[in-house]
Structure 1
Amino acid sequence: MPILLVLWKFKYWVAIAILSFLWLGQIAYTNHLSGKIQDAESRCQAKIQKIEQQHLKALAEKQNAINQVSADYEKAKSEQRVQVETVTREVQKIIDRPVYQQHCFDASGVSAINSLITSDSSEPP
């Protein structure tokens, strides 16, 4: 009974003490949760950076593959261009300087030329 009388006499101070204790407890719990949030955020940032690094690595690999394909294409294109030029030059050589062989006319061609020669020689110049 005397404890209740003392509590009743100092009821304002008891209320202040209880509220102060609850306030300190709430601040401690808030600090605890804040630490958890910071820890979770740092783990999340680490995961994000890891994923970004993986994406950058994959992107770099794809870019290297694309560059390799482009280089192969350019190489094949240049080889093809050289082949086309070579064929063109050979055709031009054949057209510019025709090669005559010993037998360039068949029998009907020879008779046609002989008939022209005989017809020209019969006419006076």
Structure 2
Amino acid sequence: MVEQYRKALERSLLEIPAGKLEPGEDPAVTAERELEEETGYRAGQMKYITSFYTSPGFADEVIHLYYAEHLEKVENPLNGDDDEFVELFEVTLDEALQYIHDKRIYDAKTVFAVQFMELLGQKQ
């Protein structure tokens, strides 16, 4: 996960890596690029989970959620956005669930992803 300051909230949150689609870009390519830019890791395999609207009452933003497996540290990772300052954190599922409770993880996409991982673990 990455910790990033969010001006609208005047605080930092722990979040899964994410970013905007470039015009005409496949969401899987975006997911791979953002993972590398924000974490310095590359996935051996990316699995599509689902897509969902963030706030359909007033916005048409769609989030595409992927599960990254077999992570490898990249020697010279892609550079992130100039105005983006993130700090990398390794978090266990139990820690992530506690961070949701503590509101350190508080954005919809990350809460959704953590709860998906919790459900996945219960089914195995």
TM class, shorter-length: under 0.3
Which of 1 and 2 has higher RCO (CA within 8 Å, sep 6+)?
A: 2
- Mark the structure with the bigger radius of gyration: 1
TM normalised by structure 1 equals: 0.17
More helix by share: 1
TM normalised by structure 2 equals: 0.17
More strand by share: 2
